[in-house]
């Protein structure tokens, strides 16, 4: 009988501890000692930290033990934010880490607007930020949320994004991009100046390795500066046209 009574008492004590633990965040949110006094915004380049703070909804009335998800959800609604993490540092600091959308190209809307890999126009003013990006020469209008829904624009952005990650040198050479309907994409290059590259519209069909080898071979032979056009749309060959008039 005594043993049973002791077990019941211990069980009741455990339930009390669990109840206090579950209610602790609610209790702490009511304490002025944990009001937010400092917010650290990290990871922003194009988005002003103050703008990110306002977007998050964190104020001086917020508490470090408030739920983070509403703040995170508000941040993710901003077109410049693709990921956001929030953490607390006791007693009064909130730390926000942001992953920004990166511009891949400039689209005519009709003014030049930076566009990311999601084919979404970004609220970055090219006149205030140095953006050395390829220009999409022909695009449809974006929707109300800034997304380009037309296939030609999406294909061009997908190919440029692949180049950006897999062949930064060739990406940096691209001046502008024009869709050719079913014939792929035309890349006008600034290096070699005035040269062109023809590539498939589907990034999965872009044979970057063969393209890189061909360009490296032309460079090794001193013929890269004479290249007029390189056509990488074919499955089994890369076709190069040289400027014969200016060759030695």
pTM over 0.85: no
Residue range 50-109, pLDDT digits in tens: 999 999 999 999 999 899 999 999 999 999 999 999 999 999 999 999 999 999 999 988
The answer to whether 211 and 238 have CB atoms below 8 angstroms apart is yes
pLDDT per residue as tens digits for the range 5-55: 343 444 444 444 434 434 456 665 566 678 899 999 999 999 999 999 999
Residue pair 133/116 in contact (Cβ under 8 Å)? The answer is: no
Task: Note the CATH architecture for domain 33-100.
Answer: Roll (3.10)
* Integer Cα distance of 82 and 96 in angstroms: 13
Q: Which two tokens stand for residue 151?
A: 């296939």
| pLDDT interval class at 181 (50, 70, 90) | confident
Q: Is the pLDDT of residue 223 over 90?
A: yes
**Is residue 187 pLDDT above 70, yes or no?**
yes
Quote the crossing angle between the two packed helices 151-166 and 208-220, to the nearest 10°. Answer: 60
CATH of 103-246, one of 2.30.30, 3.40.190, 3.40.50, 3.30.40: 3.40.50
Burial of 170 (0-12, 13-18, 19+ CB in 10 A): buried
């Amino acid at each position: 009988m005594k043993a049973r009574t002791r077990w019941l008492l211990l069980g009741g004590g455990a339930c009390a501890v669990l109840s206090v633990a579950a209610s602790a965040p609610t209790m702490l949110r009511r304490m002025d000692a944990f009001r937010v006094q400092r917010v650290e915004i990290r990871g922003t380049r194009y988005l002003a930290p103050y703008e990110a703070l306002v977007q998050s909804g964190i104020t001086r009335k917020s508490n470090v033990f408030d739920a983070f998800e509403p703040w995170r959800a508000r941040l993710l609604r901003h077109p410049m934010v693709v990921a956001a993490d929030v953490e607390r540092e006791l007693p009064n600091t909130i730390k926000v880490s942001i992953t920004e959308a990166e511009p891949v190209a400039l689209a005519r809307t009709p003014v030049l607007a930076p566009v990311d890999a999601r084919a979404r126009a970004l609220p970055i003013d090219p006149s205030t930020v140095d953006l050395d990006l390829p220009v999409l020469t022909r695009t449809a209008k974006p929707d109300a949320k800034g997304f380009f829904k037309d296939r030609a624009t999406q294909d061009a952005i997908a190919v440029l994004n692949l180049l950006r990650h897999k062949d930064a040198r060739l990406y940096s050479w691209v001046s502008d991009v024009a869709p050719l309907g079913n014939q792929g994409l035309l890349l006008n290059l600034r290096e070699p100046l005035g040269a062109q590259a023809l590539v498939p519209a589907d990034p999965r069909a872009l044979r970057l390795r063969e393209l890189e080898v061909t360009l490296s071979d032309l460079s090794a032979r001193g013929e890269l500066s004479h290249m007029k056009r390189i056509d990488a749309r074919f499955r089994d060959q890369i076709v190069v046209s040289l400027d014969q008039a200016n060759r030695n």
